[in-house]
Amino acid sequence: LTRSVAYITLPSILVAGPAGAGKTALATRLERQGPKPADTYTSQKINVVELAVGEDAAASQYTDDLDSSGAVAKKFLLVDTPGHGKLRNATALARLDPASTKAHKLQGVVYMVDSAALGEEAGSDSDAGLAGAAAYLYDLLLLLQKRMGAGNSSKAPHTIPLLIAANKADLFTALPAPLVKAQLEAELSRIRTTRSKGLLDSGVGVDDVDAGAAGAEDDDWLGEYGSKSFKFDQMREFDIDVDVIAGNVVGSDGPGVGKWWTWIAQQI
């Protein structure tokens, strides 16, 4: 009986997002249960941190000392991934493969963005800028969407909600959460239009599209098929809830990490 304990897989939360968004800073701050993250450097590998939430998720705080309070703690793994464009596919996005989400008991995804970089002038070639942040998010959302449609078994896959963590709210140049949401939706709409045109321009005339090809095109469309602009609400059709919450890992000005922690605790 005791032997089986070693084989229990802890639930996990994936942390993804462009380079420099603050993913590793968040992981180290939660691990230390203190006000300050460790100094970070560009991640090249997945970094897994074991954390625990109290039994009452809504009341749980990341600073709770669960050992001394004798509370019933639920352990889980926070999986911090590298944001670099060349490392995403093999790390963060690979974890969204249906077989992988099942094996890792993936319960939620935190997509972290730099809310100050999102507000910078277009044309800044930083990965954390609006174009870069939205392009990565598009790939991630499409994988989550396809996952819900995948599999021919009658049993639907468990849902994986998404939290967009609008980080660096301590900086005065940071966009507030509603604006982060609106900017990302607008950019995701643009990307969707561009990619659907790409399909049409690839030499397949509209009249040539047979049922099979139309089906394939349908599969690559993010959100409500044929809708003019993309809204995160459209992901509900695929049973995917998206929340956008502002916070900051560094600095004492701002909302901190409390609301993100509550969101995470509720998924465990």
84 vs 190 by CB, closer to ligand GTP: 84
Using CB distances below 5 to 8 A depending on partner kind, what does residue 132 bind out of Mg ion, ligand GTP, none? none
Residue with the CB atom nearest ligand GTP in the bound state: 83
Using CB distances below 5 to 8 A depending on partner kind, what does residue 160 bind out of Mg ion, ligand GTP, none? none
Interacting span for Mg ion (CB under 5 A) from 18-26, 210-218, 224-232, 240-248: 18-26
Using CB distances below 5 to 8 A depending on partner kind, what does residue 234 bind out of Mg ion, ligand GTP, none? none
In the region spanning residues 175 to 194, those forming contacts with Mg ion, defined by CB under 5 A, are none
Binding site for ligand GTP (CB under 6 A): 17, 19-25, 40, 42-43, 82-84, 167-168, 170-171, 248-251
Q: Cβ of 4: how many Cβ atoms within 10 Å? A: 7
Residue 16 beta carbon to ligand GTP: minimum distance, rounded to whole angstroms: 9
Residue 18 beta carbon to Mg ion: minimum distance, rounded to whole angstroms: 10
Using CB distances below 5 to 8 A depending on partner kind, what does residue 165 bind out of ligand GTP, Mg ion, none? none
Interacting span for Mg ion (CB under 5 A) from 16-24, 164-172, 189-197, 199-207: 16-24
